[in-house]
Amino acid sequence: MYKKGINQYRQVGIKDQVATADPHKITQLLMQSALENLAIAKGCMTRKDLANKAKPIAKATAIITSLRNTLNYEAGGEISESLSDLYIFMLEKLSEASITNNPQQIADVIEIMLPIKSAWDQIPESAKQEAYQQQRSVNAV
């Protein structure tokens, strides 16, 4: 009962953050959620709790797919192409991990995702605002 209450409280907090977030913050939240789900899946595999590994793998897979699908290749150029390749690689590793129950493959995906999230977290506020304004200008046309 206590755990369910905490999870519901956490979900409300996340929904509140998303409702008021800019696109940069949403991406941060998605990356954080992917990392959390990857850690849960890795833990399940390590404990041989194979019945509970599928849901967090599916969530991480959906998030990584969403991150890939929202890349702006026109504005991002080579960076977007490289990120797309990394996301595809991560998705392939997650698929393999799901089949082989190898927690190291999940760890490999975490190792790839962490520096991407870290770099995203370090984007200066001025650059975020500039990108947001450019996007709004493009959408207004």
pLDDT at residue number 139: 61
Q: Which CATH superfamily is domain 29-124 in?
A: Flagellar protein FliS (1.20.120.340)
**Spatial distance between the Cα atoms of 52 and 40, rounded to a whole number of angstroms:** 9
pLDDT at residue number 9: 47
DSSP one-letter string for 14-74: HHHHHHT--HHHHHHHHHHHHHHHHHHHHHHHHTT-GGGSHHHHHHHHHHHHHHHHT--HH
- Within 13 Å and on the Cβ side, how many CA atoms surround 10? 8
pLDDT at residue number 98: 94
**pTM for this entry:** 0.79
Express each pLDDT in 59-70 by its tens digit: 999 999 999 999
Closest CA to 66 of 87, 45, 46, 50: 87
Helix, strand or coil, per DSSP, at residue 124: coil
Are 33 and 10 a contacting pair, CB within 8 Å?
no
Domain ranges of the chain: 29-124
Are 119 and 24 a contacting pair, CB within 8 Å?
no
pLDDT at residue number 24: 85
Question: What is the pLDDT tens value at each position of the chain, 141 positions in all?
Answer: 545 554 554 555 555 555 556 888 999 999 999 999 999 999 999 999 999 999 999 999 999 999 999 998 988 889 999 999 999 999 999 999 999 999 999 999 999 999 999 999 998 877 767 766 766 666 665
Q: What is the largest CA-CA distance in the chain?
A: 54
DSSP state of 123: -
DSSP state of 13: H
pLDDT at residue number 60: 98
